[in-house]
């Protein structure tokens, strides 16, 4: 089976089929840097569209976008002021200065020399440098994420004792895993608020686009393209684009997948609450089976060895905190009950098409995560309720852990909700099954909405 078969984008097997927006980024960039054609650009029929030495500005872009080009546009472009290896390493240093907990991990693991060597001496071809330059100018946060994921992925690969060649591929995959985003519509990427099913599908296509892009470069090992295709797949089959499971997933994609999730948690959720990387442990425990167990073990061991400590709030009202966690835990319990009562666990046969299987896997993933965490149910509710009445300062660490775990469960439920509409429409499930699941997911959405309104 080829890597691109049996996935929700099986028709997207050639870059010519991509609704490519790269030229729009280049035209915008031409307003501040020189973006010049390095050779005549012609369409597939040989018609000249843009002479060598022309600025790729908005007018040129409008012309180019109407045609299928004889070769990828990036092969015919020269940028002024491209980024270089020193720039990438400096960016890493900037991040380690911003996130002092990451600096602590970096120093404790004696990672400076290896990181410097890798960032400064891993060769990237000119087209890849061009793409990273455009990403840096047009979507700077994406380059921050790329550098963070390259750093963390390499650190995990070293902790796992992977060989030199695999470490090299892991670094590249971390750096390039979301390169497909620069070819997507900026309008969809920057959209505030909920995405339609079609827009969500467009976002998901970045894994396939990234893989197709990298496959064009003979100097990029095949393991890197495979990892890019797989970085949103999960070991229990709940990922995309092909719902692969641990028997046919590569290790690099899972390392990059966990690094990618951690970037989002550390720089957004944790930043708002003053948490550090050590606070990731409850998240990792809940996801011990989501990525390969060896990846979980390596990252947990890095965090435990770092000397960092869990961030415990010092001036909280225990009673109030227990009460608010009780309310959250109840709402998430209702959501889980609704999903459980839909009997989706027994619908494997009805949900056997690509789309249906995706919803089945995402739903069973969240249900088993909830069961194994013990987060919802009588015991924990009773304990929180009791604590709200009789606050115990000794319980602060446990409350903190529950808070972190509820965040993860909330996110997982939200993710499942997001894929429901699109998946059901194309699932070929019976009207009765569709009704049942829509009803369950509407309840889930209402429970989550209630929490988000608070």
- Using CB under 5 A, list all residues that contact Fe ion: 178
**Tokens standing for residue 4:** 């691109």
DSSP per residue, 278-308? GGGHHHHHHTTTTS-HHHHHHHHHHHHHT--
Alpha carbons 396 and 319: distance in angstroms, whole number? 10
Min. distance of Cβ 178 from Fe ion in angstroms?
A: 5
Contact 331, 451 (CB under 8 A): yes
| Residue 189 vs 406, nearer CB to Fe ion | 189
Three-state DSSP class for residue 35: strand
Rg (CA), the chain: 23
> What's the min distance (Å) between Cβ of 77 and Fe ion?
24
Comparing CB distances to Fe ion, the nearer of 178 and 403 is 178
Q: Tell me whether residue 243 or residue 427 sits nearer to Fe ion (CB atom).
A: 243
Shortest distance, position 56 Cβ to Fe ion, whole Å: 27
Minimum CB separation of residue 231 from Fe ion in Å reads 6
Q: Which residue's CB comes closest to Fe ion?
A: 178
| Distance in Å, CB of 206 to Fe ion, minimum | 6
**Based on CB atoms, which residue is closest to Fe ion, 24 or 178?**
178
Q: Which two tokens stand for residue 51?
A: 């002479």
**Closest C-alpha among 259, 260, 234 to residue 362:** 234
DSSP secondary structure code for residue 11 in this structure: T
Least distance to Fe ion from the beta carbon of 2, Å?
21
Query: Toward Fe ion, which CB reaches closer, 259 or 339?
Result: 259
- Residue 30 or 178: the one with the smaller Cβ distance to Fe ion is 178
36 DSSP β-pair partners: 55, 78
**Which residue, 9 or 326, is less far from Fe ion as judged by CB?**
9
- In angstroms, give the least distance from the CB of 415 to Fe ion: 13
Which residue from 158, 412, 178, 152 is spatially nearest to 290, judged by alpha carbons? 412
Task: Output phi, psi for 210, to 5 deg.
Answer: -60, -45
d(CA 138, CA 147): 16
User: CB of residue 256 vs Fe ion: minimum separation in angstroms?
Assistant: 9
Beta-sheet pairing, 35-37 with 41-42: unpaired
Instruction: Say how far apart CA 337 and CA 323 lie, in whole Å.
Output: 21
Toward Fe ion, which CB reaches closer, 64 or 212? 212
- Nearest CA among 176, 130, 128 for reference residue 150: 176
Choice between 232 and 436, CB closer to Fe ion = 232
Using an 8 Å Cβ cutoff, are 278 and 310 in contact?
A: yes
Query: Smallest distance, Å, CB 103 to Fe ion?
Result: 25
Q: Distance (Å, rounded) from C-alpha 428 to C-alpha 421?
A: 13
- What is the 8-class DSSP label of residue 194? P
Q: Please state whether 184 falls in left (phi above 0), alpha (psi between -120 and 50) or beta.
A: beta
In whole angstroms, give the CA distance from residue 214 to residue 221: 9
Instruction: Please identify, using beta-carbon distances, which residue of 205 and 433 lies nearer to Fe ion.
Output: 205
To Fe ion, the closest distance from the beta carbon of 90 in angstroms equals 24
């Amino acid at each position: 089976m080829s890597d691109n078969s049996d996935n929700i984008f099986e028709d997207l097997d050639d870059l010519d089929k991509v609704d490519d927006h790269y030229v729009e980024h280049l035209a915008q960039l031409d307003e501040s840097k020189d973006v010049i054609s390095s050779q005549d650009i012609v369409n597939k029929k040989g018609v000249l569209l843009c002479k060598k030495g022309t600025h790729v500005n908005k007018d040129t872009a409008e012309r180019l976008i109407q045609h299928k080009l004889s070769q990828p546009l990036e092969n015919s472009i020269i940028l002024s002021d491209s980024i270089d290896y020193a720039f990438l390493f400096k960016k890493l240093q900037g991040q380690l200065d911003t996130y002092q907990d990451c600096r602590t991990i970096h120093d404790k693991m004696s990672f400076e020399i290896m990181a410097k060597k890798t960032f400064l001496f891993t060769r990237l071809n000119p087209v890849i440098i061009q793409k990273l330059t455009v990403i840096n100018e047009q979507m700077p946060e994406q380059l921050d994420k790329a550098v963070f994921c390259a750093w963390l992925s390499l650190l995990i690969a070293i902790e796992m004792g992977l060989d030199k060649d695999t470490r090299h591929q892991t670094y590249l995959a971390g750096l390039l895993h979301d390169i497909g985003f620069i070819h997507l519509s900026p309008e969809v990427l920057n959209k505030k608020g909920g995405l339609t099913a079609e827009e969500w599908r467009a976002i998901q296509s970045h894994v396939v686009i990234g893989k197709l892009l990298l496959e064009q470069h003979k100097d990029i090992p095949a393991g890197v393209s495979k990892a890019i295709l797989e970085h949103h797949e999960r070991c229990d089959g709940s990922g995309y684009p092909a719902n692969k499971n641990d028997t046919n997933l590569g290790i690099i994609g899972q390392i990059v997948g966990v690094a990618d999730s951690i970037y989002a948690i550390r720089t957004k959720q944790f930043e708002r609450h003053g948490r550090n990387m050590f606070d990731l442990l409850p998240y990792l425990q809940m996801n011990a089976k989501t990525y390969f167990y060896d990846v979980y073990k390596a990252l947990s061991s890095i965090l435990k060895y770092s000397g960092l400590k869990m961030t415990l709030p010092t001036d909280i009202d225990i009673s109030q905190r227990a009460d608010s966690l009780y309310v959250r835990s109840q709402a998430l319990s209702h959501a889980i009950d609704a999903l459980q009562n839909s009997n989706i666990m027994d619908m494997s046969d009805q949900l056997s098409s690509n789309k249906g299987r995706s919803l089945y896997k995402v739903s069973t993933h969240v249900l088993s995560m909830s069961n194994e965490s013990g987060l919802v149910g009588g015991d924990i509710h009773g304990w929180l309720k009791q604590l709200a009445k009789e606050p115990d300062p000794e319980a602060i660490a446990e409350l903190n852990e529950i808070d972190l775990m509820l965040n993860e469960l909330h996110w997982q439920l939200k993710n499942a909700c997001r894929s429901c509409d699109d998946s059901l429409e194309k699932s070929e499930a019976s009207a009765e099954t569709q009704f049942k699941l829509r009803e369950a997911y509407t309840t889930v959405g209402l429970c989550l909405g209630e929490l988000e309104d608070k």
